[in-house]
Chains A and B, each alone.
Chain A
Amino acid sequence: MSEAAPRSPVPDALAFERPLLELEQKIKELRSLASGTHLELAEEITSLEDRLRRQTAEVYSQLSPWERVNVARHAERPLTSDYVQMMLDDFVELHGDRVFGDDRAILTGLATMGSQRFLLVGHRKGKTVKDRLACNFGCAHPEGYRKALQKMRLAEKLKLPIVTFINTPGAYPGIGAEERGQAAAIARNIMEMFEIKVPIVCIVIGEGGSGGALGIGVGDRIGVLENAYYSVISPEGCAAILWKNGDKAPEAAEALKLTGKDLLRLGLIDKVIDEPLGGAHRDARGTVDRVKAQIVEWLTELGQVPVEQLLEQRYVKFRGMGVPLGA
C-alpha cells in the first residue's frame, strides 16, 4: 500500500475545497469587521453567502469518487464518538472480548436515544494524535471483532436491536492480528450476524474498508452517507496491485464503484443518506440529526418484523447480491 499523503492544511486530494475555504474565510473576516466597526456590510455578506452556497453545491455535486474518498477521510468528519455525544441520551461503554484484550478501534456499549434502546457497535478512529494511536486509526484487531460479537450476543439476549457505525480503512494487517486469527474473527462475525435474533442497522459513516468493515456490517438495513465509501479494497491498494502504481488511486477509486450512489445502483445497500451542504465536516450536527432520523425510521420498521422473517430476509438480502448470469 502506498504511504499517506503528507499532511498540509488542505491536502492535494482536497484541493476542490480551497475556493470554498477562501470564501468562508472572507465571510468570517467581513463579519468580524462588521461587528467591530459598525460598518454596514450585511448586504455584501449575504451576497457572499449566496455565492458560497451555490459554489459549494456545485463543487459537491461534481466530486469524483476519489475526492469523495478524501471527504470520507476528512480530519473534521464526525466520528463514532461524535455520534455518541450528539445523538444519544445515555451510553454505557462495555469493554473487552473476555479473551485477549480491549480493542479501542471498536467501541461497544448500551445506548438510549429517545424511546429507542440499542447496542451500539462502531469503529473508533480517535480525535487527537494520542487517541488516534490508541484506536490504531480505526483498524481493528481480532479482539475488536470478538468484542463486537460478544456484545451483540448480549444484545440479542436483552432483546435490544443493534446499530453499527462503520468507519475503518480496514482491519489491521499486522503480526499479532494474524497470529490471533484476524481472518477467522471477521468470518465468524459475518456468519454469526446472520443468526442474531434482533434487528441490525448498519451505517457507513466514513470509510467502509473491506472485510474490516463487513466484520460489523451484516444487517437488515445498510445506509451509506453521501460522502462515505464502501469498497473491497482501498483505492491505493487496488492501484498498487492492478495498475502497479499507488499513484493511480484516483483511477482505481473510479473503477471500484465505491460511492453510495454506485452501491445503491448495484443493489448492495438500502439507502444513501444525504449530508448537509458541503459535507459532514461542515455540519456535524446536521449530519448526526439525519443519521439519527434514519436509525429511528429503520428501527421502528424492523421492530414490527417477526424474528424468523427478519432472519430470513437478512439472508435473502445478501444472498441476492451479485447474481451471475444463468442464475
Chain B
Amino acid sequence: MAWTRFGKKKDMPGGLWIKCESCGGMLFRKEFEQKHRVCGSCGYHFTLPGRERIALTADPGSFEEMFQPLMPVDRLGFNDKVPYDQKLKLTQEKTGETDALIAGTATIKGIPCMLAVMNFQFLGGSMGMVVGEKVARAAEHAAARKLPLILFACSGGARMHEGAVSLMQMAKTCGALALMHRAGGFSISVMTHPTTGGVTASFASVCDLLLAEPGALIGFAGPRVIATTIKKELPKGFQRSEFLLEKGQIDRIVQRAQMRDELARFLAYGTGRDPVAAFKPAPQATHEPIEVPPAPVEEKPKRGKKSKKE
C-alpha cells in the first residue's frame, strides 16, 4: 500500500513538519492536524485514521461504539513471514483497535444514525471476518431501528490472510445491505482514499448514495495490476474521485471540511427533517491561531546516487 501514508514524519526536530505527498509542500504538523489532514496548499486529502474520522463526523460525545468484543480468528493458520495471529496481536497493540472497522450509533448535527468507519491503519483497512461481521451487524441494526447508515470506506480490499473467508465477507455485507434496502433503510457510502478491491466491489458500492472525498483512489483493481496487465501507462487522474464522477459512478464529491454538513443535509432528506437547517455550518470552534515557523529547506536528492548501488 505504498500509495497511502498518514503523513510521514520527516526526520526533523520533533516531527514538526510533514511533506505533502501530492504537491511536495512542507506542512506544519499542528496546522495540518487542525485541518484534518488536508494539505493547506494543494487540498490533498490524506488518509484519516478511523477515530479521527468519527471525531470529525459525529456530534461531540454522541458516538457509542457497538460490536466491540468481536475479534478476528486465524482460521487458516496463515503464515507468510509472520504468522497471521501474531501479526494481528502486534497490530492490535500498535493501533489499540481490534480490527479495521469501528461501528456504533451517533448523532450528526442532532440527527441519529449508524456510523461505520474503516481504519486504514489496521492492516491497510483490509476486510476480513470482523469487518464483514460489523458491517452486516451495522446494517441489520440500522434496518431494525430505522436508522440511516453511513459507511466510510477506506481499504486496500479483502484481507488475504483470511483467504476465501474474507472473500465471502463481500457476500455477507451485500446480503445485509439487501436486507436493509428491503426494509426501506437509507444508506450512504463515503469512499475515501483509498477504496479498492473487495470493499469497492461489495458494500461500498451498493448504498443509496455514493460519495467520495476529493482525489481518492477508488477502483476494483489496483492501478499497478492494471498497468501490468495492459502494459500501458494509465491516463492521468485514472480511478480518482473526479474520474469516477465524470464516468457517472458516484453521486458527489465532498470536501472533508464540508463532510459533516453535507451528511447532515442528506440525513435530513432521508429522515424527513429540514435540510436547510441541517446544512447550515455550525458555529466554528475558534482555534488559537497557529504560528507557523519558516519551513525547513529540503536537501535536493543527489544525482546519480542510485546508479552507484551495485
Q: Which residues of A are in contact with B by a Cβ distance under 8 Å? A: 1, 171-175, 177-184, 186-188, 190-192, 194-195, 210-211, 214-215, 217-218, 230-233, 237-238, 241-243, 255-258, 262-263, 266, 268, 314-315, 318-319, 321-327
A178 and B219 in contact, given A187-B174, A257-B76, A326-B69 (Cβ under 8 angstroms): yes
Say yes or no: A194 contacts B174, CB within 8 Å.
Answer: yes
| Nearest neighbor of A174 in chain B, beta-carbon distance | B230
Q: Does B214 contact A (CB under 8 A)?
A: no
Say yes or no: B166 contacts A322, CB within 8 Å.
Answer: yes
Minimum Cβ distance to chain A for residue B19 (Å):
25
Within 8 A of A (CB), among B169-183: 169-172, 174-179, 181-182
Q: Does B167 contact A (CB under 8 A)?
A: yes
Say yes or no: B170 contacts A194, CB within 8 Å.
Answer: no
The residue that A171 contacts in the complex, of B133, B158, B167, B220, with Cβ under 8 A, is: B220
Given contacts A171-B221, A177-B220, A178-B238, list 18 more A-B pairs with CB under 8 A: A1-B229, A175-B235, A178-B220, A182-B221, A190-B175, A191-B174, A211-B197, A211-B202, A233-B158, A243-B80, A257-B163, A318-B172, A321-B165, A321-B168, A324-B70, A325-B73, A326-B69, A326-B70
The residue that A173 contacts in the complex, of B159, B165, B167, B229, with Cβ under 8 A, is: B229
A177 vs B72: C-alpha distance in the bound complex, in angstroms? Answer: 33
Contacts of A182 in B (CB 8 A): 201, 219-221
The tally of CB-CB contacts under 8 A between chains A and B is 200
A211 vs B215: C-alpha distance in the bound complex, in angstroms? Answer: 25
Contacts of B225 in A (CB 8 A): 1, 173, 237
Q: Does B22 contact A (CB under 8 A)?
A: no
Say yes or no: B136 contacts A324, CB within 8 Å.
Answer: no
Say yes or no: B76 contacts A187, CB within 8 Å.
Answer: no
| Nearest neighbor of B235 in chain A, beta-carbon distance | A175
* Among B69, B175, B179, B230, residue most surrounded by chain A Cβ atoms (within 10 Å): B175
A36 vs B37: C-alpha distance in the bound complex, in angstroms? Answer: 83
Say yes or no: B172 contacts A324, CB within 8 Å.
Answer: no
Q: Which residues of B are in contact with A by a Cβ distance under 8 Å? A: 69-73, 75-76, 78-81, 99, 128-130, 132-133, 136, 158-160, 162-172, 174-179, 181-182, 197-198, 200-206, 219-222, 225-226, 228-230, 232, 234-235, 238-239, 247, 249
A183 and B167 in contact, given A178-B226, A194-B174, A255-B80 (Cβ under 8 angstroms): no
A256 vs B161: C-alpha distance in the bound complex, in angstroms? Answer: 7
Contacts of A180 in B (CB 8 A): 247
* Among B128, B171, B176, B247, residue most surrounded by chain A Cβ atoms (within 10 Å): B171
| Nearest neighbor of A179 in chain B, beta-carbon distance | B247
A314 vs B171: C-alpha distance in the bound complex, in angstroms? Answer: 10
Contacts of B76 in A (CB 8 A): 255-257, 266
A160 vs B235: C-alpha distance in the bound complex, in angstroms? Answer: 44
Contacts of B80 in A (CB 8 A): 242-243, 255
Contacts of A171 in B (CB 8 A): 201, 220-221
A140 vs B169: C-alpha distance in the bound complex, in angstroms? Answer: 21
Say yes or no: A178 contacts B162, CB within 8 Å.
Answer: no
Say yes or no: A194 contacts B178, CB within 8 Å.
Answer: yes
A180 vs B244: C-alpha distance in the bound complex, in angstroms? Answer: 9
Contacts of A172 in B (CB 8 A): 229
Contacts of B201 in A (CB 8 A): 171, 182-184, 186-187, 190, 211, 215
A231 and B163 in contact, given A187-B200, A243-B80 (Cβ under 8 angstroms): yes
Minimum Cβ distance to chain A for residue B49 (Å):
22
A321 and B172 in contact, given A191-B178, A255-B79, A266-B75 (Cβ under 8 angstroms): yes
A179 vs B248: C-alpha distance in the bound complex, in angstroms? Answer: 9
The residue that B164 contacts in the complex, of A174, A175, A257, with Cβ under 8 A, is: A257
The residue that B170 contacts in the complex, of A184, A214, A314, A319, with Cβ under 8 A, is: A214
A195 vs B177: C-alpha distance in the bound complex, in angstroms? Answer: 11
* Among B69, B178, B182, residue most surrounded by chain A Cβ atoms (within 10 Å): B178
Say yes or no: B198 contacts A211, CB within 8 Å.
Answer: yes
A181 vs B79: C-alpha distance in the bound complex, in angstroms? Answer: 34
A184 and B162 in contact, given A319-B172, A321-B168 (Cβ under 8 angstroms): no
A47 vs B17: C-alpha distance in the bound complex, in angstroms? Answer: 79
The residue that B132 contacts in the complex, of A190, A322, A326, with Cβ under 8 A, is: A322
* Among A217, A243, A318, residue most surrounded by chain B Cβ atoms (within 10 Å): A318
A217 vs B181: C-alpha distance in the bound complex, in angstroms? Answer: 21
Minimum Cβ distance to chain B for residue A5 (Å):
16
A174 vs B238: C-alpha distance in the bound complex, in angstroms? Answer: 11
Say yes or no: B168 contacts A268, CB within 8 Å.
Answer: yes
Contacts of A266 in B (CB 8 A): 75-76, 163-165
The residue that A238 contacts in the complex, of B160, B172, B178, with Cβ under 8 A, is: B160
* Among B81, B159, B167, residue most surrounded by chain A Cβ atoms (within 10 Å): B167
* Among A230, A322, A327, residue most surrounded by chain B Cβ atoms (within 10 Å): A322
Say yes or no: A319 contacts B175, CB within 8 Å.
Answer: yes
| Nearest neighbor of A320 in chain B, beta-carbon distance | B172
| Nearest neighbor of B158 in chain A, beta-carbon distance | A232
* Among A178, A182, A194, A241, residue most surrounded by chain B Cβ atoms (within 10 Å): A178
* Among B81, B170, B228, B238, residue most surrounded by chain A Cβ atoms (within 10 Å): B170
* Among B158, B162, B198, B220, residue most surrounded by chain A Cβ atoms (within 10 Å): B220
| Nearest neighbor of A184 in chain B, beta-carbon distance | B205
Contacts of B205 in A (CB 8 A): 181, 183-184, 187-188
A195 and B70 in contact, given A173-B225, A231-B164, A268-B168 (Cβ under 8 angstroms): no
Minimum Cβ distance to chain A for residue B239 (Å):
6
Minimum Cβ distance to chain A for residue B42 (Å):
24
A318 vs B204: C-alpha distance in the bound complex, in angstroms? Answer: 18
A215 vs B171: C-alpha distance in the bound complex, in angstroms? Answer: 9
Contacts of B129 in A (CB 8 A): 322-324
Contacts of B176 in A (CB 8 A): 319
Contacts of A188 in B (CB 8 A): 205-206
Contacts of B230 in A (CB 8 A): 174-175
